[in-house]
Amino acid sequence: MPATSTLLQDPAAAVAPLTIGSLLAAYRSGAVTPGKMAADLLARIDAAGRDEVWISRVPAKQLKQQAAALDLMLQIKGEAVFESMPLFGIPFAVKDNIDVADMPTTGACAEFSHVAPTSATVVQRLQAAGALLVGKTNLDQFATGLVGVRSPYGAVRNAIKPEYVSGGSSSGSAVAVALGQVLFSLGTDTAGSGRVPAAFNHLVGLKPTRGLISAHGLFPACRTLDCISIFAHDVADAWRVLQSAAGYDDADAYSRKPAMLGVKRRGYRIAVPDAPEFYGDAAARDAYERTLSQIAAMPGVTLKKIPFDAFTDAAQLLYQGPWVGERRAALGEFFTRHGADMDPVVRQITAQADNYDAVDAFNAQYRLADLRREAETLLEGSDLLLVPTTTTFPTIAEVQADPVVRNSQLGYYTNFVNLMDMAALAIPGAWRGDGLPAGVTLIGPAGSDHLLAEAGAQFQRVLGGAAQADAIAAAPLPFNEATVQVCVVGAHLSGQPLNWQLLEAGARRVAVTSTAARYRLYALAGTTPPKPGLARTADGNGAAIAVEVWEMPLRQFGGFVAAIPAPLGIGTVELADGRAVKGFICEPAGIAGAADITHHGGWAAYLASLA
C-alpha cells in the first residue's frame, strides 16, 4: 500500500476496499502510520457530505492525539504491538444505542439522550485490542426498523445509490464502513438489523450466537433477542473483530458460553427455501439465483429444498405478537412521558404492546417452541440454511410512502433467526442487474459461528472475493470450555490429508515442536492415506521427531479418537520441553516390517524426500 493512499477507495470503484488485514500490513511496513491514517480518515469524512451517517463523533483533536499515541507505541514496541493488540490502529464506529464513556447515547431520539459514564463491555474489549473509535452512528430510532429512515437525525442514504434505503436499523454503522469512513463497525441485530444493511451496502454482516458478544452497555430493543453485530468488508475482517469482541461477561445476564461447532472441510449440505419470496422484484430473484448457482457448482456442495413456512410463521411473531412488549418494557416511563416526541412509526409499533397480555406471551412461546422443533426437523442432515438476505430493495421514497409494509417485506428472511436461537452471516452475492448490491445469508444453530464464517469465506471466494477460508478454519474463537492437547505426527499435520478431522473437531494448532529424543518413526505399509507410526524406544536409542500440538474441546476428543484406525492409537507423548501430552502412537505389531524413517526427523521431511 503506497504511502499516498487514502483510507479507502470509492465504493463504486473497481478497486478493492482497504481491509483490516491490509491496513495492519501497511502499519507493519511503515507505509502508513496511525497518525497518517487518522488524517486521511477525517478528510474523507469531511469531504463526503454524509452527515446523516453520524450522530456524534470523537472530536478531531482527540482522535489525532489518540492516533499519535499509537504512533509512539508502534515506535517503542515494534512488531510486538500487533501481538498484544490485534486491532492496532483500526478505525471503527459504534451504533448509537451502545454506550461509549463520556459520549451521549441517544438511540436516535434527542429527548432520550444521556451521557454514558462507562463504555459497553464490547467497546472496552475492542479498544483494549487497539481499535480506534471514530464516533457513534445513526439508526432507526430505538433500533426499530430495517430501513434506515426512522431517525430525526436524517434518513441514512445508501452508500452506492443514495436514492435507495441503506437498510436498518444499523444504518449509519453499515454506511460508515461502505463509504470507507471506518474499517469496521458495531451494529445490533434483533430482527435483521445487522444483515439487511450489509446486503444493501455490499458488506459482510456477522450476527453471532446470542450471548456470544456481551450486551452490557447496549440499550435494548428486545433484551431476550438482541445481538451486537459486526459490519466489515470481508469475512476475515468480521471474524478478526469477533475474536476480540466475543467473550463471557458476568455483567450481562444473557451472556453465555455456547458450545462451538467445528468447521466443515469436505463440502456443505445446504438447505434452501423451496419457493423463495421476492415480492415481485425480478432483479432480486435473478441475483439470488445466480449466486446460488455459483455456490451449488462448488465441489462437495449439495442443495436440499425445504418448506419455509415454519420460519416465516416464527418471523411474524416478532412484530405481530407479544414480543413488541419487550420494546415497550425497554423504554419504560420514557414512552409514557415522551411518546409524542418519538418517530411516529416507531411509536405506533411500540404502542402495539397494549394489545397483548401475559396469556398471549405464554401462548406465543408455546407456538415458537413448536416452530423451532419443526425447523430442527427440516434442517436435519444439513450443515446450514442459505437464504436471500432481503426480498427487495426499495427507494427511500417508496418506504416513506408505505413504511410498515415495506419494512415488513425486508424482514422475511431475517426476523426468525434470533427467535429460533440461530447464528447468521450475511455476505455479498452477485450484483443485481440494475447495479444494486444483493446478498445471501448463511444460518446455523447456536454455536455455529465458526462453521458459518469458514463456509462464508469459501462462498466469498467463488463469488469473486478473497480466499480466506483456510485462515479462518485455523482460527476458532478462544475456548470457553474444557480442552485437551493432542500431539500429531503424520497425516493430521497441517496441510496433510487428515488435518480436516482436527478442524472439524474445532481444534486449533498451538505449537510446532518436536518430541523428546526418545522416539523412532516408521512409514507404515498399506495405509490410506499414507501414515507414519511413532514408537518410544526402551533403550533410549531414539531421536527428536517433528510434531504439532493441537488443542480441541474435550467433548470432541472421544469422537476424534474413535475414528483412528489400527495400528494407530492415542497414548502419552513426551515433548522436547518435558511436557507430556496425549498423542499418536503405534502398536508394536504395526511396526513389524515397516521402514524406519527416523533419520528424516519427521513425516513432512520424509514425504519431501520421496518427491
- Please write the tens of the pLDDT for every residue from 32-64: 999 999 999 999 999 999 999 999 999 999 999
Task: Tell me the pLDDT band of 540, cut-offs 50, 70 and 90.
Answer: confident
* Angle 280-283-285 from CA coordinates, rounded to 5°: 65
Q: Is the pLDDT of residue 94 over 90?
A: yes
Percent of the chain past pLDDT 90, that is, above it, reads 95
d(CA 204, CA 389): 11
Alpha carbon distance 587, 416 (integer Å): 52
pLDDT tens-digit readout, 221-252: 999 999 999 999 999 999 999 999 999 999 99
Mean pLDDT, residues 575-604 taken together: 95
Q: How many Cα atoms are found within 13 Å in the side-chain-facing hemisphere of 218?
A: 31
Q: What pLDDT is recorded for position 168? A: 97
pLDDT digits (tens, 9 = 90+) for 198-222: 999 999 999 999 999 999 999 999 9
- Residue 16: pLDDT above 70? no
CA angle 324, 328, 334 (to 5 degrees): 160
Q: Tell me which of 166, 170, 193, 244 is the catalytic residue.
A: 193
User: 3-class DSSP state for residue 40?
Assistant: helix
Q: Residue 22 above 60 pLDDT?
A: yes
Catalytic residue of the set 56, 119, 166, 169: 169
Tell me which residue has cell 461509549.
Answer: 100
Is the pLDDT reported for residue 67 higher than 80?
Answer: yes
Q: Is the pLDDT of residue 410 over 70?
A: yes
Residue 611 is predicted with a pLDDT of: 84
Is domain 20-280+378-474 annotated with CATH 3.40.50.11600? no
- Structurally, at CATH architecture level, domain 483-610 sits in Roll (3.10)
Is residue 161 flagged as an active site residue?
Answer: no
In which band, very low, low, confident or very high, does the pLDDT at 10 lie, cut at 50, 70 and 90?
very low
Q: Is the peptide bond before 494 cis (omega within 30 degrees of 0)?
A: no
Per-residue pLDDT of 273-321, as tens digits, reads 999 999 999 999 999 999 999 999 999 999 999 999 999 999 999 988 8
CA distances to 271, 320, 384, 390, 429 from 412, rounded to whole Å, are 17, 13, 18, 7, 18
For residue 7, pLDDT over 80 is answered with no
Q: Would you state the pLDDT for residue 1?
A: 27
Q: Cα(531)–Cα(10) distance, rounded to whole angstroms?
A: 51
Cβ partners under 8 Å of residue 477, min gap 6? 212, 242, 243, 246, 260, 449, 450
Q: 449 vs 235, 245, 391, 418, 499, CA distance in Å?
A: 12, 13, 24, 14, 20
Residue 286 CB burial class (10 angstroms; 0-12, 13-18, ≥19): middle
Percent of the chain surpassing pLDDT 70: 97
Peptide bond into 529 cis (omega under 30): yes
Residue 382 catalytic? Answer: no
Give φ, ψ of 127 to 5 degrees. -70, -35
Q: Could you read off the pLDDT of 316-368 as tens digits, one per residue? A: 999 888 999 999 999 999 999 999 999 999 999 999 999 999 999 999 999 99
> Which of the four pLDDT bands, split at 50, 70 and 90, describes residue 593?
confident
What is the average pLDDT score of the chain? Answer: 95
Cell of 262: 467445528
pLDDT in tens, 394-408: 999 999 999 999 999
Alpha helices in 78-113 (DSSP H): 80-84
Which residues on adjacent β-strands are paired with residue 479? Answer: none
Q: What does the domain layout of the chain look like in residue ranges?
A: 20-280+378-474, 483-610
The per-residue pLDDT for 13 is: 42
The overall pTM is greater than 0.75? yes
Burial class (CB in 10 A: 0-12, 13-18, 19+), 4: exposed
pLDDT band at 6 (very low <50, low <70, confident <90, very high): very low
pLDDT one-digit tens code per residue, 412-443:
999 999 999 999 999 999 999 999 999 999 99
Task: Tell me whether residue 169 is one of the annotated catalytic residues.
Answer: yes
546-574 tens-digit pLDDT: 999 999 999 999 999 999 999 999 999 99
Over 90: is that where the pLDDT of 106 sits? yes
Judge whether 265 and 500 are in contact, CB under 8 Å.
Answer: yes
Alpha helix locations (H) across 420-498?
Answer: 449-462, 469-473
**Catalytic choice (36, 95, 136, 207):** 95
Whether the per-residue pLDDT at 93 is higher than 50: the answer is yes
Q: What's the pLDDT band for 512 if we cut at 50, 70, 90?
A: very high
